[in-house]
Chains A and B, each alone.
Chain A
Amino acid sequence: MTSAHETTTSVDPGFDTALPALQIGAYTLRNRLIMGTGGITDLAALEKALAVSGTSLTTVAMRRFNPELKTSVFTMLERLGIDVLPNTAGCFTVKDTVLTAELAREALETNLIKVEVIADEHTLLPDVIETLAATEQLADRGFTPLVYTSDDPAAALRMEQAGAAAVMPLGAPIGTGLGILNPHNIELIATRAQVPVILDAGIGAASEAALAMELGCEAVLVASAVTRAQRPAAMAHAVRRAVEAGWHSRSAGRIPRRQHAQASSTFEGVIDPVEELT
């Protein structure tokens, strides 16, 4: 059955409507939307949102084993066929970050690590000095570091030089839903980077995920925007489509911005103005 808004004729668009996979170090990311799993207590709703999002890579945190927790997010991701991206959330120092990454590699059998070293609990902003040192050490130890950093283009470049397999600048502080506060910086980071740039943190609605892709990001990480939405699965669907739309919008080549209007209807052949009745 065809929905009311879809046409029944199919035309070859002349390009691939499916997005290409993304190479991050030795890892192939099959889908451009990375999801987070925090911020939701209803695990059935989380599972549905993850499935609807189409994600192939999803973050988890590493914490002390709690025998009272009967359900495991790890088991859920395995069931959904989603790869796991452990993060180092909660780490403030290089030492804690490296140990957490080593534990994650051992527990989850992956070299992928989302490096997250925060400065304080109030802003959750990345401590770029510690992050840089941690990235260097983790790259040396054979990890594939995806590095959460500030939206500072100079800092982003340093992360890449330190061994980041992907740079993940924040759009806005974690959980704020403020969107992309400095689009110019994000575009500059994406333009200069030799490794994939993945927008991380700050997205509150689907349009902001589309903007990230239009600015040149190769992928987007979304957590709270979906998990704390009133209808998580519906937002997951919207963000998935937005990432696709933003990627195509970028590759389609947008028109330049102009100071003045440019008519899209020709003035040639326009009828004579009717004389005013007196």
Chain B
Amino acid sequence: MPTVRINDQSIDLPPGATVAHAVEHTTGRELTPEGRPADGGRLGVAVALEGSVVPRSLWAAADLEENAQLEIVTAVQGG
């Protein structure tokens, strides 16, 4: 069971977890294999793994190693 850092918080994910699992865990929304919300609409979320952006189409294939550092961001009020 890998323990990863998501937005500076330690999270335990099931064995074999991918970036897609981390996004589902954080947003509470189920994803299609293409990284889109299964409930339709838009997710408005992006992921950086170890400081590099992972395109949503690759989320399901991106395995997470122990202590992986993830940033999961979205649009908020500003500017």
**Interface residues in chain A, defined as those with a beta carbon under 8 Å from any beta carbon in chain B:** 36-40, 46, 59-67, 69, 72-75, 78, 84-87, 89, 99, 102-109, 114, 116, 221, 223
Query: Known contacts being A78-B42, A102-B53, is A60 close to B48, with CB within 8 Å?
Result: no
Q: Which residues of B contact A61 (CB under 8 A)?
A: 75-79
Q: Does B40 contact A (CB under 8 A)?
A: no
CB distance from B16 to the nearest CB of A (A): 23
CB distance from A239 to the nearest CB of B (A): 15
Assess whether B77 is in contact with A37, with CB atoms less than 8 Å apart. Answer: yes
Q: Which residues of B contact A60 (CB under 8 A)?
A: 75-79
- B73: contacting residue among A62, A72, A109, A116, CB under 8 A: A62
Assess whether B48 is in contact with A103, with CB atoms less than 8 Å apart. Answer: yes
Assess whether A64 is in contact with B44, with CB atoms less than 8 Å apart. Answer: no
Assess whether B75 is in contact with A103, with CB atoms less than 8 Å apart. Answer: no
Give the docked Cα–Cα distance between A59 and B72 (Å): 19
**Interface residues in chain B, defined as those with a beta carbon under 8 Å from any beta carbon in chain A:** 7-8, 26-28, 42-48, 51, 53, 55-56, 71-79
Assess whether A36 is in contact with B53, with CB atoms less than 8 Å apart. Answer: no
- B26: contacting residue among A65, A105, A109, CB under 8 A: A65
Assess whether A63 is in contact with B56, with CB atoms less than 8 Å apart. Answer: no
Assess whether B7 is in contact with A65, with CB atoms less than 8 Å apart. Answer: yes
Q: Which residues of B contact A102 (CB under 8 A)?
A: 46, 48, 53
Give the docked Cα–Cα distance between A84 and B77 (Å): 11
CB distance from B44 to the nearest CB of A (A): 4
A-B contact pairs, 22 of them (CB 8 A): A37-B79, A39-B77, A59-B78, A59-B79, A61-B77, A63-B73, A63-B76, A64-B8, A65-B26, A65-B72, A65-B74, A66-B76, A67-B28, A74-B44, A78-B42, A89-B78, A99-B51, A102-B46, A105-B46, A107-B45, A221-B79, A223-B79
Give the docked Cα–Cα distance between A38 and B71 (Å): 22
Ranked 6 nearest A-B pairs via Cβ = A61-B78, A59-B79, A107-B46, A106-B46, A60-B75, A103-B46
Query: Known contacts being A65-B27, A107-B45, is A86 close to B72, with CB within 8 Å?
Result: no
In the complex, residue of chain B having the shortest beta-carbon distance to the beta carbon of A221: B79
Give the docked Cα–Cα distance between A38 and B53 (Å): 26
Assess whether A104 is in contact with B46, with CB atoms less than 8 Å apart. Answer: yes
Give the docked Cα–Cα distance between A104 and B76 (Å): 11
Give the docked Cα–Cα distance between A64 and B48 (Å): 11
In the complex, residue of chain B having the shortest beta-carbon distance to the beta carbon of A36: B79
Q: Which residues of A contact B76 (CB under 8 A)?
A: 60-63, 66, 69, 73
In the complex, residue of chain B having the shortest beta-carbon distance to the beta carbon of A174: B79
